[in-house]
Amino acid sequence: MEGPADIVFRASGLTKVYRNGALEVHALRGIDFQARTGEFIVILGPSGSGKSTFLNIVGGLDRATSGEAWFEEHQLTALTERGLTQYRRDHVGFVFQFYNLVPSLTARENVQLVTEIARHPMPADEALALVGLSDRADHFPAQLSGGEQQRVAIARAIAKNPQVLLCDEPTGALDSATGIKVLEALTQVNRAVGATTLVITHNAAIRDIADRVIRFADGRIVEEIVNATRKAPSEVSW
Amino acid sequence: MIPPLRRKVLRDLRRLWAQVLAIALVLAAGVATLILGNGAYASLHETRARYYEENRFADIFADVTRAPRALLGEVRDIKGVLEAEARIVRLGLLDIEGMKEPGSVLFVSLPGDETGLNQLFLMEGRLPDPQSAREIVISDGFTTAHGLGPGDTLPVVMNGRQRQLLVTGVALSPEFIYALGPGQMMPDPRRFGVVWAPRAALEAAFDLEGAFSNLVLKLAPGTDPDLVIEALDRLTAPYGGTGAAPRKDQISHAFLDAELKQLSAMVKVLPPIFLLVAAMLVNMTLSRLITLEREQIGLLKAIGYSSRAVAQHYIEFVLLIATIGILIGMAAGTWLGAGLAQMYARFFSFPYLVFLRDPQIYGLAAVITVGAAVGGAIQAVRTVVRLPPAVAMAPPAPASYRQRIGWVRRLVQLRQTGVMVARHLFRWPLRTASSTLGVAMSVAILVASLWSFGSINFMIDVTFFRTERHDAQIVFGVPEPQRALFAVRQMPGVVVAEPFRQVAARISHRNLSKKLAITGHPAGAGLSRVLDTALRPMDLPDSGLILSEALADALQVRPGDLVTVEMLEGRRPILTLPVSGISLGYVGLGAAMDIGALNRLMDEGPLISGVNLMIDGSQDAAFYAAAKAAPKTETITVTALMLERFQQTLAENITVMITVYVVLAAIIAVGVVYNFSRIALSEQGRELASLRVLGFTNREVSGVLFGELATIVLLAQPLGWLIGYGIGLAMVAAFSSDLYRVPFVIEREVYAIASLVVLAAALVSALAIRGRINNLDMIEVLKTRE
Ligand SMILES: Nc1ncnc2c1ncn2[C@@H]1O[C@H](COP(=O)(O)OP(=O)(O)OP(=O)(O)O)[C@@H](O)[C@H]1O
Ligand SMILES: [Mg+2]
């Protein structure tokens, strides 16, 4: 097995309970998980199985109810608000299920929002070029299609050259050609920067481009498949 | 390169320009009110101080009938007296051809030289030759009212003799800033003027050679005027002195003071309320506006912006809005304040106006405004920033709409959209309450700005139509025997004539004392009545005094108490009299007695000071001519002219001031209601768009939002009336002085107007957002979550 230095993420016994008055929803029921540097992991699972919740906790967007999660030497579950902010700012790139762009900023400015505060960013235009949106850089989100908005969000996530790239259904709204472009952008960042990439998807076909596939069900990891070889995105059949 | 967040600030400002403008205007209105009132007040106050100082305005004023000049030496020897001047001050009648109504002039001997007291401010021409018997300088307002100037002649009646005087100059004096004619309530420059003449000429005209009729004194700094007055009164008593007045009781000064006090009440009570209301509304509005940005705040945090950076971003946003508001407010406030001060300066016959701007007021306005705006922003950002980004980015947790509104539903058969309205209102009771309060405050400041009209109308009604019901009043130079009344009854046009007696007196109770005139009325008088506080005519007791409410308050007496009355005329008896009743009266301090009882106390026989008259309107010109010609007449006042002047002056001053306030209040009301509607739309935009997707018509969808707005606006009305009433009550206390007592009367129209303005604002806002509802983006809803 690999030495501990190789492990970027470690989680053990992670649970998350949402309380809504008397109602309790167990979104995560004890997750044990590890990810190596540069690994490309695809997360599958039915709706409501806790995938987004897990990703949010690992990304420092939300707090676990119990259990531990580590990023390198940082214990995420123990970090303060400020520590989590610093963690997200320095290490994590997000692509959200909903595009979450700032409506009053253009595509380029949405990317600059991140490059502005990142330590080693790539130029905003380069990031937009990676997702094939160079010619739409000056458009506002409302002037872009859903898929284009999502690609801006991806450009924004990769523009900081993150160590970790967390994507929640990045291709959900895209046609296959753009979907492939997006996945290529993701794999390229994954290779070039060695960013550990976690991608949630409902498209089981994508699993073939991953190093490892994890399947969630009812708040637990129920299956884990390691691919001996990764396919290129262009080889995936949608 | 402009950082993207800063760019977002600018874009958001532009995107929300209408709301931004509305908020900025609300702030501007608050700031402007504070600045304009304070600016006008400070300028007038400073102008008066400078004018008094430069023109050596006296500290003490005393009238005598006739005292030898030798007395002046003794007056100068009183401890604390820096300077004393003996003057001749006498009333005369105007005799201008073509001027039907009576008018009077006050003759004042010119101050000695440059070091004399009450120096004139020469506006035009030159001072009279000291040796001339004809040359005079006249007061500026009077000059303008009659189109006179240097070189013109002025026909007058002096000491019963007709004279043609020659105008050599036009002047102003600190003694007549508020140039009130005898028996008048408002300055009327057409019917009252001041004429300054060399003392020798006046001595000759009024048979006062080697004598004087008036003293003015300047005191050494730190001297107690009361001690000097005591000594002075002892000296002047043998010569018909009716008691010296300190500067604070000098007519012009006292009225000016009362006016400034009123202005200061308008300035000190209302504007802070305006500003606070504006601040509160902006605080609420901005906080809700930022709460709308919840998801974007979550996103900024998700991608690594610190809470501080996020907060700073929104603070920049509101600071810009606040700055726009403050700048507009300061510019408008300064401009309006200068205009207002000029208006008052003209009214008060100031020779110049010292503009004063208190930087502290500007600073205060800015600090309160910025504080409120930033406070609202921080409060809203803080609640959102505290959430984990994952939660913030998701829409707020679906509200637990329990069956709390079951009863509403049972009460009125609500349709499903109606249920939505009710649920919204009940789901966020705090927001509903704060919106209601916000609209209510708009109503309240309108009520608070408008109420005084009702009070003034009531004052006019009581004073001119219920108490002083005569058409004209003749006052004699000295008290006359009964036959003077018969002479007046013979004048043309006289329908009813009722005599009265007036005696200057000092009334004391414990250590409190007031100088005023006690009026004796004949029993059953109908032309000048004494009314009780329920507006019923009062019977005058055989002995005992009826005091006006204001006087009773000032002396802290109640019916049944005993007061000491020192008569300041005749043999100057000092008496102890019971207070037998309290009467209503809004102008000045008053004390009334039965005329017979008063004459018995004076022990001078049945004398009368003047006559109240009812005149046949068709013969008024003949009456005026006869009254003017009667040698005993000192002044003639005409009630209708006085009332007209009263209303004109009010129209000029208070109306302008109130109009400004009402406009500012209306701006606040419109700004608030518009913002609330816009924010409600933003908050519910998605829900409403979904309704459209489901096939609801624009009308039905608008109905949901408008139903909510209408409920809030309607709920706010009674609350606003109540708060406005409270503010008015606080103001009325600040309005009252010895000279005016302002009744607190709010006419129903005030509530109606306030509500109509706010309802109109709501309607306009509704129309303005109607277009937005019609253009709700259904696609957007389908494209993203929920
Ligand atoms: N704020 C919340 N309050 C209560 N329950 C929540 C909340 N957020 C998520 N849940 C619940 O937690 C569980 C996991 O949600 P999560 O968003 O992680 O699912 P998911 O696997 O990402 O589903 P999908 O594929 O539909 O995105 C679900 O049952 C969901 O209803
Ligand atoms: Mg999900």
Judge whether B338 lies within some domain: no
Proximal ligand: closest to the CA of A57: 1
Note whether B400 contacts A21, CB cutoff 8 Å.
yes
Banded pLDDT at B670 (limits 50, 70, 90): confident
Helix (H, G, I), strand (E, B) or coil at B304: coil
Q: Which amino acid is at A22?
A: A
B606/B658 same-domain check: no
Average pLDDT over residues B341-370: 85
At residue B577, the pLDDT reads 93
Which residue bears the tokens 């994952």? B390
Return the axis-axis angle of helices B416-427 and B656-693, rounded to nearest 10°. Answer: 120
Proximal ligand: closest to the CA of A215: 1
Contact B188/B45 with Cβ under 8 angstroms? no
Flag whether pLDDT at A65 surpasses 70: yes
Helix (H, G, I), strand (E, B) or coil at A186: helix
- Could you give the CA distance from residue B607 to residue B612 in angstroms, rounded to a whole number? 15
Q: Six-digit token pair at A31? A: 């997750």
Judge whether B118 lies within some domain: yes
Find residues 177-216 of chain A whose CB sits inside 8 Å of chain B: none
How many Å lie between the centroid of ligand 1 and the Cα of residue B781? 20
What is the distance, to the nearest Å, from the Cα of residue A97 to the centroid of all Cα atoms in its chain? 10
Flag whether pLDDT at B60 surpasses 80: yes
Residue of A nearest to B399 (CA): A20
Judge whether B122 lies within some domain: yes
Banded pLDDT at B723 (limits 50, 70, 90): very high
* pLDDT tens track for B185-206: 778 888 899 999 999 999 999 9
Flag whether pLDDT at B785 surpasses 50: no
Flag whether pLDDT at A68 surpasses 90: yes
- B581 pairs with which residues across the strands? B546
Within a 13 Å sphere around the CA of B713, how many CA atoms are in the beta-carbon half? 26
Q: Look at residues B276, B328, B327, B293 and name the one whose alpha carbon lies nearest to residue B16.
A: B293
- Report the 10 Å Cβ neighbour count for B455: 20
Flag whether pLDDT at B239 surpasses 50: yes
Average pLDDT over residues B86-96: 90
- Could you give the CA distance from residue B482 to residue B651 in angstroms, rounded to a whole number? 41
- Could you give the CA distance from residue B320 to residue B17 in angstroms, rounded to a whole number? 12
Flag whether pLDDT at A1 surpasses 50: no
Average pLDDT over residues A111-137: 87
- Could you give the CA distance from residue B96 to residue B490 in angstroms, rounded to a whole number? 24
Q: How many domains, chain B? A: 3
Roughly how many angstroms between the first and final C-alpha of chain A, as a whole number?
A: 34
- B85 pairs with which residues across the strands? B216
At residue B781, the pLDDT reads 54
- The whole-angstrom distance between A2's CA and the closest CA on chain B is 31
Judge whether B284 lies within some domain: no
Contact B128/B171 with Cβ under 8 angstroms? no
B239/B91 same-domain check: yes
Touching check for A102 and chain B: CB below 8 Å? yes
Structural domain span for residue B237: 53-252
Touching check for A4 and chain B: CB below 8 Å? no
- B546 pairs with which residues across the strands? B581, B592
Flag whether pLDDT at B403 surpasses 70: no
Contact B681/B705 with Cβ under 8 angstroms? yes
B454/B549 same-domain check: no
Q: Six-digit token pair at B684? A: 């519910």
How many Å lie between the centroid of ligand 2 and the Cα of residue A48? 7
Residues 6+ positions from B365 with CB-CB distance below 8 Å? B30, B31, B34, B35, B275, B326, B329, B330, B333
* pLDDT tens track for B254-292: 888 888 887 787 777 777 877 777 777 777 777 777 878
More confidently predicted of B679 and B113: B679
How many Å lie between the centroid of ligand 2 and the Cα of residue A52? 4
Which of B547, B581, B615 finishes a domain? Answer: B615
Note whether B304 contacts A156, CB cutoff 8 Å.
no
Average pLDDT over residues A140-160: 84
Judge whether B292 lies within some domain: no
- Could you give the CA distance from residue B350 to residue B52 in angstroms, rounded to a whole number? 11
* pLDDT tens track for B561-602: 999 999 988 888 999 999 999 998 887 788 999 999 999 999
How much is the mean pLDDT over chain B?
A: 85
Q: Ligand 2 (ion): which residues have CB within 5 A?
A: A 52
DSSP B595-628: HHHHHHHHTS-SEEEEEEEEE-GGGHHHHHHHHH
Nearest atom within ligand 1 for CA of residue A49: 21
DSSP B35-85: HHHHHHHHHHHHHHHHHHHHTT--SEEEEEEEEETTHHHHHHHSTTEEEEE
User: Which option is the CATH number for A38-63+88-235: 3.30.1300.10, 3.40.50.620, 3.40.50.720, 3.40.50.300?
Assistant: 3.40.50.300
**Nearest Cα residue to atom 12 of ligand 1:** A27
Q: Six-digit token pair at B231? A: 């000594």
**Nearest Cα residue to atom 27 of ligand 1:** A47
What is the distance, to the nearest Å, from the Cα of residue A49 to the centroid of all Cα atoms in its chain? 17
Touching check for A146 and chain B: CB below 8 Å? yes
Q: Which residues of B touch A127 (CB under 8 A)?
A: none
B603/B673 same-domain check: no
- Could you give the CA distance from residue B34 to residue B614 in angstroms, rounded to a whole number? 47
Query: Using a 6 Å CB cutoff, which residues line ligand 1?
Result: A 18, 20, 25, 27, 45, 47-53
At residue B126, the pLDDT reads 93
Residues 6+ positions from B688 with CB-CB distance below 8 Å? B681, B701, B704, B705, B773, B776
- Could you give the CA distance from residue B579 to residue B588 in angstroms, rounded to a whole number? 18
User: Alpha carbon of A90 to those of A60, A82, A162, B4, B560: distances in Å?
Assistant: 12, 12, 7, 19, 87
B652/B587 same-domain check: no
Residue of B nearest to A87 (CA): B304
B425/B567 same-domain check: no
Say whether the ipTM exceeds 0.85: no
At residue B404, the pLDDT reads 55
Q: What angle do CA B732, B735, B736 make, to 5 degrees?
A: 100
**R_g over Cα of chain B:** 33
Please list the helix, strand and coil fractions of chain A in percent, rounded to the nearest 5, in that order: 35, 30, 35
Burial class of residue A204 (count of CB atoms within 10 Å of its CB; 0-12, 13-18, 19+): exposed
Flag whether pLDDT at B683 surpasses 60: yes
Touching check for A163 and chain B: CB below 8 Å? no
Which of B580, B615, B650 finishes a domain? Answer: B615
B98/B241 same-domain check: yes
Nearest atom within ligand 1 for CA of residue A23: 4
Which of B228, B252, B276 finishes a domain? Answer: B252
Note whether B391 contacts A116, CB cutoff 8 Å.
no
Judge whether B431 lies within some domain: yes
B583/B653 same-domain check: no
Flag whether pLDDT at B139 surpasses 60: yes
Q: Which residues of B touch A99 (CB under 8 A)?
A: 784
- Show me where the domains of chain A are located: 38-63+88-235
- Report the 10 Å Cβ neighbour count for B687: 15
B529/B651 same-domain check: no
How many Å lie between the centroid of ligand 2 and the Cα of residue A51? 6
Contact B215/B62 with Cβ under 8 angstroms? yes
Residues of B contacting chain A (CB within 8 angstroms): 3-5, 7-8, 11-12, 15, 295-296, 299-307, 309, 388-391, 393, 397, 400, 780, 783-785
**Widest Cα–Cα separation across chain A:** 52
Contact A196/A8 with Cβ under 8 angstroms? yes
B242/B95 same-domain check: yes
A92-95 and A164-168 as β-strands: parallel, antiparallel, unpaired? parallel
Residues 6+ positions from B71 with CB-CB distance below 8 Å? B86, B212, B235, B236, B239
How many Å lie between the centroid of ligand 2 and the Cα of residue B5? 28
Contact B269/B445 with Cβ under 8 angstroms? no
Contact A71/A84 with Cβ under 8 angstroms? no
**DSSP class of B544:** S
Q: Which residues of B touch A63 (CB under 8 A)?
A: 388
Which residue bears the tokens 């009433």? B725
How many Å lie between the centroid of ligand 1 and the Cα of residue A44? 14
Average pLDDT over residues B85-97: 89
Q: Look at residues B85, B89, B61, B57 and name the one whose alpha carbon lies nearest to residue B72.
A: B85
Banded pLDDT at B407 (limits 50, 70, 90): low
Residues 6+ positions from A3 with CB-CB distance below 8 Å? none
Touching check for A139 and chain B: CB below 8 Å? no
B694/B564 same-domain check: no
- Could you give the CA distance from residue B304 to residue A82 in angstroms, rounded to a whole number? 10
Phi and psi for B136 in degrees, rounded to 5?
A: -145, 160
B104/B227 same-domain check: yes
